[in-house]
Amino acid sequence: MKPITFQTKVWELLQEYPQLEGTLASLSPAFAKLSNPVLRRTIAKVTSLQQAASIAGIEPGEMVAKLRAAAGIGITEPENPEHEGDSFAQQFLTTTPQWYRKEQVSSRFDATALLDAGDVPMSHILKQSRNLTPGEIFEFTTPFLPGPVLEMLHKEGFGVWSEKLSKEGNQTEYLNRVHKFYVYLLKIQ
């Protein structure tokens, strides 16, 4: 049996412990979408339990402890995610970056409708971002912080910034921005 840690991917967890799908769903309604095979094959493969906890608004240590108990691994002391670096999701929830200019937003996308229909917006978000010209900003909204796609874009050199917004009915929405930087080449003589 594989251990259940903060870095365990949701897909790995459900492959090793398929009985935990119900436990995840009971922890947060956000996990109900895992029954969608497309989401399971895509998002779940790149999302760690720590990231999933942030998306669902659950304390990661408590979630891991409950999953371990439900898997029969035994109740252990919850891990402290701070031992593994800063909370993953928090790195994108910062103050307004210097590169952000509202007038540079070239396109917008609401991923919520696509997610509600059971589809995965990741390919659309990646395509829109990669098609930006230097200086442009792509803005998209999601009902959760899309950590894996933001991390992927950040690793590709894009500027990434998210804001957590409150909607009516205690719902949360994230406004995410992706910026393509200018590349300056210096000619050395």
Domain count, the chain: 2
- Verify that 110 and 168 share a domain, yes or no: yes
Q: Confidence band (pLDDT; 50, 70, 90) for 126?
A: very high
pLDDT (tens digit, 9 = 90+) per residue, 6-57? 889 999 999 999 999 999 988 888 788 888 888 788 888 888 888 888 777 7
77 inside domain = yes
188 inside domain = no
Where residue 120 sits, what CATH number does that domain have? Answer: 3.30.110
Q: Which of 32, 66, 84 is the last residue of a domain?
A: 84
Q: Which of 84, 115, 150 is the last residue of a domain?
A: 84
- Verify that 175 and 101 share a domain, yes or no: yes
Q: Considering only CA atoms, give the Rg of the chain.
A: 18
- Quote the strand ranges of the chain, DSSP E: 105-110, 137-142, 159-167, 171-179
pLDDT (tens digit, 9 = 90+) per residue, 47-102? 888 888 877 777 777 788 888 888 887 544 444 444 343 355 567 888 899 999 99
- Verify that 45 and 115 share a domain, yes or no: no
Domain, as residue range, for 107:
91-179
